[in-house]
Amino acid sequence: MELEGKTAILTGAAGGVGEATARLFAKEGAELVLVDIRKRQLDVLTEELAGYGARAAGFAIDVSEESQVRQVVETTTERFGKIDILINNAAVCKMIPILDIGAAEWDRVMAVNLRSVFLFCREVFRRMKERRSGKVVNIGSAAGKIGGLAAGAHYSSSKAAVMCFTKSLALQAAEYRINVNAVCPGPTKTEMTDDWGDETNKDFASKIPFREYGRPEDVAEAILFLCSDRSRYITGEILDVNGGLVMD
């Protein structure tokens, strides 16, 4: 098992890519701290993983609230003794034209998608720095590279910022042998894309060279690679998982 003995914090764990990643990491031997605002779904997943024999704890919090983020990191350190892996996956995405985006809507998307990444990275980096070891993976989006074709401008802007922040942290963390990377999915079959409707999904899938959306498991496998020892010499990388939608 590639992650045996490793402790991982995973945000946005209760659905889609987060849920697939939690299951994969549990099978690979990781101890998991699952974070999501959806308590019921989080409790179900935590119980399921415990049934596999995985050590898992769930925290239903608002990831944009500084005090709540700090509490999760402190509790994780106390309960598990260390933090080896951080995956920032929590996000909200809405298809809203620019003229219909209010200031409150903009701020909320930035808070969940970007502020939470900063808060968790800052608190976890403090601890990884002391141990001179760790893996951080932030989840970007193809929309952050090409604009909001299937998402609002606030979503695509937040994801572009996440990817830039990833490189900034990677530069500062490198001397401590901490790997900081991002996974950048294209359209992926989740509850989020299901809400777009069949016609929209068919149209966007036709623009992907593979002619289909990715699966959450496809993204989870890329995350696993960047959290494993196989990525020892990779940092500051933005890894595309998009069926050829964006090639750079």
52, 155, 213, 233: which one is catalytic? Answer: 155
Verify whether residue 213 is a known catalytic residue: no
Q: Are strands 134-139 and 85-88 parallel, antiparallel or unpaired?
A: parallel
Half-sphere exposure of 32 (CA within 13 A, CB side): 35
Q: Check residue 234 and give left, alpha or beta (phi > 0: left; psi -120 to 50: alpha).
A: beta
The residues assigned a catalytic role are: 155
